[in-house]
Amino acid sequence: MFPVSSWLEKRTVHRGITHSFFASGVVTLAAYPLALLGHSQLWYGLILGYFFGWFADVFTKSGVQAFYPGRGRMIIPRNPRLRLATGSNAEWFLLFVLVAVSILSISINSGGGLIRGFNQALGLPSGAIETVNEDASRYLLRVRVQGRNAITEKPVDATYEVIEPLTVSDLLVKDEGGTVYRLGSSQESQIIASRIRVERVAPVQVKIENIVLEDEYLDRLANLTEPFGAAQGNRVYLTGTLTIADGSGLSLPSHADRFDTITLQPGNIAYARLTAASPQYAIDKLGEYSVSGHLIARIINVQ
């Protein structure tokens, strides 16, 4: 821009044509190919950056020729004593305030926005669950939880990996050992949360696979984890209902202090309901039985 600005400086008045709505229009049209090439955000940034760059000089003592080619100058405010002088203490103070606001704005937006920052600061469970709903399909998430154990009433201050949102008030999470808990504010939760802070760990790709079983064993579920390493394989979750034709002798453990990812409705024809169950756990508990049903596999690949 130096050759252009130097040429204009020699031929026009100070803060003249370059500080005008006319110049903003020229920049908008000249940069429009960026928008046509798919770089619309860069185009918007260039337009706004140029406009606010010259419009800030409206508050100086000499103002700007905003309505070029008209010779009148736009000066704000009307009282000359309140106008900014170049190099004055007031100008440096305003610059400091603008830089501080810019840093704060960048910090807030890089953290997910004002609402997310507010929720993170207060640790509101409802806000955290809303954040998980927004981010779970794009990021591997961890939550730092303060609350209490619903069974023992002991205080809880721990970090868990998020599996998925379960209801509008609860999350499914797991600890480092792979134990699954229902976390939230409902009566069914094993961990009652008073504060939750959400952390983005890494971007993820989520793949959904439909599995139909017709009187067959669950060995084929092991194939779901084969493309991944041990850690990645632990992030394959099965949800659905299976029918077990000869399930009279089948029993599954029930736990009050953790979330049961497989629950059983017993009988000669038994029904197993899976909620975010791992393939290996399903094979361990149901692998000896021939089952039918429909499962949805949620496969999370960490980038």
- Domains of the chain, by residue range, sit at 2-76, 115-202, 204-302
Are 45 and 52 a contacting pair, CB within 8 Å? no
SS3 at position 137: coil
Residue-by-residue pLDDT tens, the chain, 303 positions: 566 667 766 777 777 778 888 888 888 998 888 888 888 888 888 888 888 888 877 877 777 878 888 877 787 766 666 666 667 776 677 778 878 877 776 665 555 555 566 666 666 787 888 888 888 888 999 999 999 999 999 999 999 999 999 988 899 999 998 899 999 888 899 999 999 988 888 999 998 989 888 877 777 777 776 655 545 557 899 999 999 887 777 888 888 889 999 998 888 888 999 999 998 888 888 888 888 899 999 999 888
Residue 158 CA to residue 89 CA, distance in Å, equals 49
Residues whose CB is less than 8 angstroms from the CB of residue 292 and which lie 6 or more positions away in sequence, other chains included:
213, 214, 215, 216, 242, 243, 245
Which of 194, 197, 244 shows the shortest CA–CA distance to 218? Answer: 244
pTM of the full structure: 0.61
Q: Which CATH number fits domain 115-202: 2.30.30.690, 3.40.718.10, 3.40.50.620, 2.60.110.10?
A: 2.30.30.690
Instruction: Write the CA distances from 268 to 58, 265, 286, integer angstroms.
Output: 83, 10, 15
